Structure 1
Amino acid sequence: MTSPEPHPTAAEYWQNRYLENVRSWSGKVNTALEREVGGVTPGTALDLGSGEGGDALWLARNGWRVTAVDIAPAALAIGAAAQQLGDAITWVAADLSEWNPPIEYDLVTACFLHSTVDLPRERILRRAAEAVAPGGMLLVVGHSGVPHWVDSPADCHHGAGHLPTPEEVLASLFDDNPRLSLADWAVVTKELVERQATGPDGTIGPIVDCVLALRRVVTAE
C-alpha cells in the first residue's frame, strides 16, 4: 500500500508557488494602502506578508524605511530585484506565525494576509497591532467577498466559512485581549470598498476590500 503524499508546510507551499510563477501579482501598490497612507508623514513601516514587494517598494519610494516580511524567499527575491532605493527596504524571510516584530513601527500593514494553507491570522494581526508605535497607524486590508478568480472562501483563506467584515476584524484585535484596548486607538477607516481588480489569471472584475485603518493614540505621561 502506497503511503499518501505528505502535505507541504506553509513555507514549502508558498516557496513553491512563487518558484512556479515568474510573477504572481501585478507588482503595484495595493489601492487601499495608497489611499490610506498617501498623505501620512513617512517613518518606519512594517509590511507583513509582503509577497513580491509591491507595497514595500511603493512605501520606500515615498520616503518610508520598510521592513518587508514574507514566508517565501522566492517572493522576497522578486521584490529585492526591483529595488532601486539602496537600503530603504529590509527583506526578512520568516513565518509570521512564529516571527515577532523586534521594535515598534510608525506604520504596520497587512494587506490580503490570507492563505490557502493554515495561517493563524488573528494572532498575527494582534501581534501586528502591538508593534504600532504611539501615534502610528495599523492598516489591515483583506477580501470581504470571494474574488472573481477563485471559487470559494476556502480558496483564498484556509478553512474559511466566510471572510471577515471590518467590524469582525476590529473585534478580533481587541475582544478578550488583555494587551490591547480599543480606547487607546482612533478608527480612521472601517469600511467595505469596491474596486476593479486583475486576478493572477489576468481576468478583470469587481472585488470588495475589507479596509480597517487605526491610529494609536499618543497618551500623555
Structure 2
Amino acid sequence: MHTFDKAYWERHWTPSADGGGRDLPVNPYLPAETTHLRTGTALDAGCGTGAEAIWLASRGWQVTGADISSAALSAAAGRAGLADRVDWVEADLTGWEPGRTWDLVVTSYAHTETGQYALYRRIGSWVAPGGTLLVVGHLHGGHDDHPERATADRTRIAALFTAPEWRIDAAYETTRTVRPRGRAVELHDVVVRARRTG
C-alpha cells in the first residue's frame, strides 16, 4: 500500500537500473489549457522531474517548481537549462507556507498523505486574484496500483471552487495512452481549470 510520504517519493524518483525514464514529457493538458494565458508567475506544485515547470519557463513564465523529493528536484535542475526562470524548492505541500501567491498554479498527478481534495483546496489558496488553477489528476480505476485517495473526480474538484471568487472554466475527463519504456499504458485523467476572479 502506498503511503505517499517523503520516503515513497524519494524511492519513486531515484533513477533505477532498468532505465526507469524519469525524464518525462510535459503532459498534453498544460499546453492545451494555458497557452491562451498571459505569462506571469507560476507554481508547479508537485513538480517531479520538472517537465511542466520547464515547459512553462520556456514560454516566458517565472516558475517555482516545488516537490517533496530531493531526487526529483536534482533531476529537474539537471535538465532545465533555464536557471534564471525556474526556482526549485524542496517542500512538503501539505505543510508548506510559501507566503506568496502566483498567477498560475498547476498540479499534475501529485499525491499526498492528506488525499487529493485537501491538496487541491490548499494549493488553490496560493492562486493570486485574477489567476488560474489547473488540476490534472487520475480518475478512479485509471491506475490499478493507486489507492482510492490517489484518484480524483471532476465534480468533486469543481465543488471545491464554487465560492463567488472562483469560476470553473474547464472540467472534463479523458483517456490517453503513454508508452513508458515502450509499454502502452492507458491513463484515465481528470482536468479542471478554475479562475480566481476576486
Please state which band the TM-score falls in when normalised by the shorter chain.
Answer: 0.7 to 0.9
Q: Which has the larger radius of gyration?
A: 1
Deviation at 1:81, TM superposition (A): 0.5
Secondary structure in structure 2 of the residue aligned to 1:156: coil
Deviation at 1:123, TM superposition (A): 2.2
Given residue 196 of structure 1, which amino acid in structure 2 is its aligned partner? Answer: T
Work out which of the residue numbers 161, 165, 180 in structure 1 matches 2:153: 165
Given residue 76 of structure 1, which amino acid in structure 2 is its aligned partner? Answer: L
Q: Cα–Cα, structure 1 residues 29 and 8, in superposed 2: closer, same or farther, change >3 Å? A: closer
Work out which of the residue numbers 86, 104, 122 in structure 1 matches 2:117: 122
CA contact (8 A) 1:100 1:127 kept: no
Query: Structure 2 regions of 5+ residues with no counterpart?
Result: none
Deviation at 1:205, TM superposition (A): 3.8
Query: Structure 1 regions of 5+ residues with no counterpart?
Result: 1-6, 175-180
Q: Cα–Cα, structure 1 residues 24 and 96, in superposed 2: closer, same or farther, change >3 Å? A: farther
Tell me the equivalent position of 1:4: none
Deviation at 1:29, TM superposition (A): 1.0
Secondary structure in structure 1 of the residue aligned to 2:164: helix
Secondary structure in structure 1 of the residue aligned to 2:55: helix
Tell me the equivalent position of 2:189: 209
Tell me the equivalent position of 2:174: 193
- TM-score if structure 2 supplies the norm length? 0.88
Tell me the equivalent position of 2:68: 71
Given residue 158 of structure 2, which amino acid in structure 1 is its aligned partner? Answer: L
- Cα deviation, 1:32-70, whole Å, max 9, x if unaligned, reads 111101221110001111000000000000101111111
Q: Does 1:17 pair with 2:12? A: yes
- Cα deviation, 1:166-217, whole Å, max 9, x if unaligned, reads 001122x24xxxxxx5221121101112222234x54224322100000111
For 1:161 and 1:58, locate their aligned partners in 2 and report how far apart those are by CA, in whole Å: 28
Q: Cα–Cα, structure 1 residues 184 and 92, in superposed 2: closer, same or farther, change >3 Å? A: same
Work out which of the residue numbers 82, 86, 99 in structure 1 matches 2:83: 86
For 1:162 and 1:129, locate their aligned partners in 2 and report how far apart those are by CA, in whole Å: 18
Q: How many residues align structurally?
A: 195
- TM-score if structure 1 supplies the norm length? 0.79
Q: Cα–Cα, structure 1 residues 101 and 161, in superposed 2: closer, same or farther, change >3 Å? A: closer
For 1:23 and 1:132, locate their aligned partners in 2 and report how far apart those are by CA, in whole Å: 33
- Cα deviation, 1:59-105, whole Å, max 9, x if unaligned, reads 00010111111111110111100111232111011111111232110
Work out which of the residue numbers 89, 92, 95 in structure 2 matches 1:95: 92
Q: Cα–Cα, structure 1 residues 9 and 195, in superposed 2: closer, same or farther, change >3 Å? A: closer
Q: Cα–Cα, structure 1 residues 195 and 9, in superposed 2: closer, same or farther, change >3 Å? A: closer
Given residue 197 of structure 1, which amino acid in structure 2 is its aligned partner? Answer: V
Percent of aligned pairs sharing the same letter: 34
Q: Cα–Cα, structure 1 residues 167 and 20, in superposed 2: closer, same or farther, change >3 Å? A: same
CA contact (8 A) 2:13 2:22 kept: no
Deviation at 1:162, TM superposition (A): 8.0
